[in-house]
């Protein structure tokens, strides 16, 4: 099913992201984790794409497996860094053949071991979205950054660039993680002011290990409110307590979003069915 049809319905949706294995040796373990999430019947799931296409085949295999085995709609991520136009055409054809109807069109980042110029056929995700739109038959989404993308000059310019991406064909946007909902509400106002009217789906990351938070901050530069920092500091030596606190903090963010009229929430579940279950159970009377 196309995501824009799911997002048009009146129901609140809760969706989850999984990532495929980088090496084939881990395939079965990752598949089991991803299927463990799918068994919990989320509204839909997204499957990430490894840097520079390193997980290409596995992204598709996992996404197809989730759809075929559990009937859960999936979005396959696709990046254009280091890609050729022909490679992208083939990747989209493979998605269609696998029955995948939704794609998150991303630029991606220069892979660590990439030699040469990684942005030749494509420079920005908007160019990728435009090509996929031209091929036809896919519902296309894009990424957005409530605190600004790390490379952007300022958040205003970033939103102007985001508008180009939507004009190029993105029918929904999923945000990078944030830990303070006011940042999302403020972003949403500015996005609407800029004339972007597609659904903007907040991405929530349950932090279950202190190292996960350090990585998130390093990669995205996202703000960590004092309230959350104290929680992580307090429970960092107790993995079970940290996991529980992380699930509760993420659930609290989701409840606040729903209470403020947000209908669709995406969770970065990091291949952890137990985290998905914890969140779903805490929301069982709400969603």
For residue 201, give the 3-state DSSP assignment: strand
How far apart (Å, rounded) are the C-alpha atoms in residues 20 and 55? 7
Nearest residue to 181 via CA among 234, 230, 222, 231: 222
Task: Map residues 71-110 to x or -, x wherever contact with ligand FAD holds by CB under 6 A.
Answer: ------x-x------------------------x-xxxx-
What are the CA-CA distances from residue 259 to residues 183, 203, 225, 248, 262 (Å)? 16, 16, 20, 16, 7
The answer to whether 199 and 9 have CB atoms below 8 angstroms apart is no
- Per the structure block, which two tokens stand in for 250? 């993420």
Q: Which is nearer to ligand FAD, 109 or 256 (CB)?
A: 109
Residue 204 parent element (H or E): strand 200-204
151 binds ligand FAD (CB under 6 A): yes
149 binds ligand FAD (CB under 6 A): yes
How far apart (Å, rounded) are the C-alpha atoms in residues 201 and 189? 14
121 binds ligand FAD (CB under 6 A): no
Q: How far is the CB of 200 from ligand FAD (least distance, A)?
A: 11
HSE on the CB side for 169, CA within 13 Å?
21
How far apart (Å, rounded) are the C-alpha atoms in residues 50 and 31? 15
55 binds ligand FAD (CB under 6 A): no
- Per the structure block, which two tokens stand in for 61? 């295999």
Catalytic site includes residue 17 = yes
51 binds ligand FAD (CB under 6 A): yes
Task: Map residues 161-180 to x or -, x wherever contact with ligand FAD holds by CB under 6 A.
Answer: x--xx--------x-x----
Q: Tell which one of 3, 72, 140, 143 touches ligand FAD (CB under 6 A).
A: 143
Q: How far is the CB of 176 from ligand FAD (least distance, A)?
A: 4
The answer to whether 126 and 160 have CB atoms below 8 angstroms apart is no
31 binds ligand FAD (CB under 6 A): no
Q: How far is the CB of 28 from ligand FAD (least distance, A)?
A: 21
Residue span binding ligand FAD (CB under 6 A) among the ranges 27-35, 151-159, 187-195, 234-242: 151-159
Catalytic site residue from 17, 101, 147, 171: 17
Q: Give the binding site for ligand FAD (CB under 6 A).
A: 48-49, 51, 77, 79, 104, 106-109, 124-126, 143, 149, 151-152, 158, 161, 164-165, 174, 176, 203
Active site residues per annotation: 17
């Amino acid at each position: 099913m196309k995501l824009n049809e799911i997002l048009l319905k009146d129901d609140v949706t809760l969706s989850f992201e999984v990532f495929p294995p980088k090496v084939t040796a881990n395939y079965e373990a990752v598949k089991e984790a991803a299927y463990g999430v799918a068994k919990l019947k989320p509204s839909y799931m997204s499957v990430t794409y490894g840097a520079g296409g390193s997980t290409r085949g596995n992204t598709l295999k996992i996404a197809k497996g989730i759809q075929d085995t559990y009937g859960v709609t999936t979005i396959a991520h696709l990046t254009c860094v280091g890609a050729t136009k022909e490679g992208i055409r083939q990747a989209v054809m493979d998605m269609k053949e696998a029955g995948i109807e939704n794609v998150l069109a991303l630029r991606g980042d220069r892979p660590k071991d990439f030699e040469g110029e990684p942005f030749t056929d494509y420079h920005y995700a908007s160019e990728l979205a435009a090509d996929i739109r031209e091929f036809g038959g896919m519902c296309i989404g894009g990424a957005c950054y409530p605190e600004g993308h790390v490379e952007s000059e300022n958040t205003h310019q970033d939103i102007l660039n985001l508008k180009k991406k939507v004009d190029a064909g993105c029918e929904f946007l999923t945000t990078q993680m944030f830990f303070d909902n006011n940042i999302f509400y403020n972003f949403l106002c500015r996005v609407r002011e800029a004339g972007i009217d597609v659904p903007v789906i907040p991405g929530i990351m349950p932090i279950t290990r202190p190292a996960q938070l350090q990585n998130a901050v390093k990669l995205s530069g996202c703000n960590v409110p004092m309230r959350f920092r104290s929680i992580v500091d307090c429970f960092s030596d107790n993995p079970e307590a940290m996991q529980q606190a992380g699930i509760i903090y993420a659930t609290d963010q989701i409840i606040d979003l729903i209470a403020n009229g947000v209908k669709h929430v995406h969770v970065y579940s990091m291949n952890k069915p137990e985290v998905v279950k914890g969140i779903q159970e805490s929301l069982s009377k709400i969603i």
